[in-house]
Structure 1
Amino acid sequence: MLSIERILFPTDFSEGAARAFPQAAYLADWHDAELHILNVTGRYQHDYEEDRERFPVSQDTLTEWLRRSAESGPGPNEPDLSALPIAQEQVESAAPAEAILNYTEEEAIDLTVMGTHGRRGVDRMLFGSVTEEVVRKAPCPALTVRADADRAPSEAIRRVLVPVDFSEASDTAVRHAKEIAMTYGAEIDLLHVVHEPVYPAAYGFEPVSFPTGEVIDNVEAQLADLARETIGYEHVMIEARAGNPASEILDYTEENDVDLVVIATHGRTGLDRVLLGSVAERVLRRAPMPVFVVKPDRKSLVSSTPAETAATHE
């Protein structure tokens, strides 16, 4: 089971924040965790007074956010918000991301749940500013939800996708996905994308044909071993395919009705280079469902492996 004691939900009262709230509420309820609601405002904002007046967030507003993705009334497993331990705080700052990051440190937050659209001053901002900075720098995992996402389920997560590149980072993602899947009673899909090498004509030679079929067979055998050894239960699908990693991941989510993507921010790109700005960033920007981001060098919500424990103490 995931070890979650404190969940942070930053809100700017935007649609993106409202779409993310059900994820925060359900996870807090299922894990008996404290739910921290944080609003960062400032006198520079055109609606500064309005933000101050609607904080703390009322029970009626929280209930409206909770049921926003539901087609009808309350579901059978809907959290009782009146019984949920909720802490609310409003801070003034001209640097929202910095204020959110400071709060995660001060309150020992285990998981941040936030929308990928928000506000800065009068203008709306997209992922690439506040949310991106929090995902990059937070000392804990983050769950992001797009404001315009086609699918933002709360309790109805049935299929979890984990892109795997066989790095230590993706191993961490797989272990988190296992526990998340157990929480929701979901199935897991493991996907590896073989990126075929492309050589410029300026190299002056005909490239040798890449043995795509053979490589895919080998990779799927490795994925099967990973599923058996790390997840250890039968509800796992594996697939290897060739192409551009980000594009193939996104295509897979659409083709297979994926409800949640669990992805690591480090991979095989040089010396432990952060993937944000490449594969993970494209998935975060475009995935039509929530994305759970883990970082192997930061706080983990699952028990460490012996190798990770040793590495932490080196």
Structure 2
Amino acid sequence: MLNIQRVLFPTDFSDGSKRAFPQAAFLADWHDAELHILNVTGRHRHDYKETKKNFPISPDTLTEWLRRPAQSVEGTTWPDLEALPIEQSQIEASTPAESIVTYADDKNIDLVVMGTHGRRGVDRMLFGSVTEEVVRRAPCPVFTVRADADKTPGQAVRRVLVPIDFSDASESAVQHAKEIALTYGAEIDLLHVVEPPFYPSAYGIDTTTFPTQEVVDRVEKQLGDMAREEIGYEHVMVSATVGHPPSEILNYVDENEVDLVVIATHGRTGLERALLGSVTERVLRRSPAPAFVVKPTRKSLLPSAKTAATQET
């Protein structure tokens, strides 16, 4: 089980943030963790008076956000909000992302669960995304849910996808995915995308025959070895494909009914990130499935070796 003691759910009362609440409540309840609810507002916001009036959020409103259906699927459990330790805070500031990151740091938060508005194009370029900035700067993993997600994430994780690039970062994602899959009783898919090389025609190099099927087969074998060594149980599928990584990952999500993407970020910042972009951020913007972003250089939620040995015993 992941080591989660404090879950942070930032909300701006939008539909996007409400979509993330079931996941935040479920994970906090499952791990016997505190649930921190944070609203960042300010007099510059058009809904300032309304957010001040409606905070702290009432138990009835939180129950509504839980989106519990009238008839639950047999075998599923729902968080008991009355028994869940909930701490609510409201901050007045003009920089939501910075306030969320600071709160996560000050309160030693283990996991941030938040929605994304899914902005695209010029709007996203001009205004940026609070969620993307939190993903880049938070001291812990971040769980994101798109505003147009069509599933209640807290009860719909049956298949977990982990994109692999064979870096230390993706290996950390595999280890987190294993614990997440055990939490939900889900299966894991490991996917590697072989990106064809590009050379200017002036080089006189023919790349039409690369990568060969031999390369793809070799990659799948490596994925199989990783599945056996790092996960160690039979509910794992491995796949290698050729193409542009973000596009192929998103295609895989659509075609295989993936419920959750566990993906690592390498933590690029500044000019390097602006020029090269980030596979992780591109997947976050467009994935219809929630995403759990692992940050190997920041806080890990993996149980210590001692704790893991105790759990196995």
| TM-score, normalised with respect to structure 1 | 0.88
Cα deviation for residue 27 of structure 1 reads: 0.3
Per the alignment, residue 141 of structure 1 pairs with: 141
For residues 4-15 of structure 1, what are the structure 2 equivalents within 5 Å?
4-15=4-15
What letter is aligned with 1:134? V
Q: Which 10-residue stretch deviates more, 196-205 or 81-90?
A: 196-205
For residues 1-314 of structure 1, what are the structure 2 equivalents within 5 Å?
1-67=1-67, 70-73=68-71, 76-117=76-117, 128-207=128-207, 209-266=209-266, 277-303=277-303
Cα deviation for residue 4 of structure 1 reads: 0.1
What stretches of structure 1 of length at least 5 have no aligned partner? 306-314
Q: Answer yes or no: is the 8 Å Cα contact 2:196–2:211 preserved in 1.
A: no
Per the alignment, residue 308 of structure 2 pairs with: none
Q: Answer yes or no: is the 8 Å Cα contact 1:177–1:262 preserved in 2.
A: yes
Q: Deviations over 1:71-109 (max 9, x none)?
A: 435565111100000000001001111110110011000
CA distance in 2, matches of 1:249, 1:151: 19
Aligned-partner SS, 2:25: helix
What letter is aligned with 1:89? S
Cα deviation for residue 117 of structure 1 reads: 1.7
Q: Could you say if the C-alpha distance between residues 207 and 184 of structure 1 is closer, same or farther in structure 2, counting changes exceeding 3 Å?
A: closer
Cα deviation for residue 201 of structure 1 reads: 1.3
Aligned-partner SS, 1:248: helix
What stretches of structure 2 of length at least 5 have no aligned partner? 306-313
Aligned-partner SS, 1:154: helix
Cα deviation for residue 184 of structure 1 reads: 0.3
Q: Answer yes or no: is the 8 Å Cα contact 1:118–1:125 preserved in 2.
A: no
CA distance in 1, matches of 2:132, 2:208: 40
Q: Could you say if the C-alpha distance between residues 166 and 96 of structure 1 is closer, same or farther in structure 2, counting changes exceeding 3 Å?
A: same
Cα deviation for residue 151 of structure 1 reads: 3.5
Q: Could you say if the C-alpha distance between residues 215 and 152 of structure 1 is closer, same or farther in structure 2, counting changes exceeding 3 Å?
A: farther
CA distance in 2, matches of 1:149, 1:228: 32
Cα deviation for residue 203 of structure 1 reads: 2.2
Q: Answer yes or no: is the 8 Å Cα contact 1:6–1:35 preserved in 2.
A: yes
Q: Could you say if the C-alpha distance between residues 145 and 127 of structure 1 is closer, same or farther in structure 2, counting changes exceeding 3 Å?
A: farther
RMSD after superposition: 2.4
Cα deviation for residue 198 of structure 1 reads: 1.9
What letter is aligned with 2:15? E
CA distance in 2, matches of 1:118, 1:38: 20
What letter is aligned with 1:264? A
| Number of positions where the alignment pairs a residue of Structure 1 with one of Structure 2 | 296
Q: Which 10-residue stretch deviates more, 4-13 or 280-289?
A: 280-289
Aligned-partner SS, 1:4: coil
Cα deviation for residue 266 of structure 1 reads: 1.6
CA distance in 2, matches of 1:200, 1:211: 17
| TM-score, normalised with respect to structure 2 | 0.89
Per the alignment, residue 309 of structure 1 pairs with: none
What letter is aligned with 1:136? R
Q: Deviations over 1:39-76 (max 9, x none)?
A: 00001111111000000011111011101xx5435565
CA distance in 2, matches of 1:117, 1:206: 43
Cα deviation for residue 124 of structure 1 reads: 9.8
Identity, in percent, stands at 69
Q: Deviations over 1:249-297 (max 9, x none)?
A: 0011111100000000129x9xxx7699331111100100100001110
Q: Could you say if the C-alpha distance between residues 85 and 118 of structure 1 is closer, same or farther in structure 2, counting changes exceeding 3 Å?
A: farther
CA distance in 2, matches of 1:3, 1:278: 27
Q: Which 10-residue stretch deviates more, 86-95 or 197-206?
A: 197-206
Q: Deviations over 1:185-222 (max 9, x none)?
A: 00000000100112121324444732420011100110
What letter is aligned with 1:72? A
Aligned-partner SS, 1:301: coil
Per the alignment, residue 311 of structure 2 pairs with: none
Q: Could you say if the C-alpha distance between residues 51 and 266 of structure 1 is closer, same or farther in structure 2, counting changes exceeding 3 Å?
A: same
CA distance in 2, matches of 1:85, 1:48: 27
What letter is aligned with 2:170? S
Q: Could you say if the C-alpha distance between residues 298 and 101 of structure 1 is closer, same or farther in structure 2, counting changes exceeding 3 Å?
A: same
What letter is aligned with 2:70? S
Structure with the bigger percentage of helix: 2
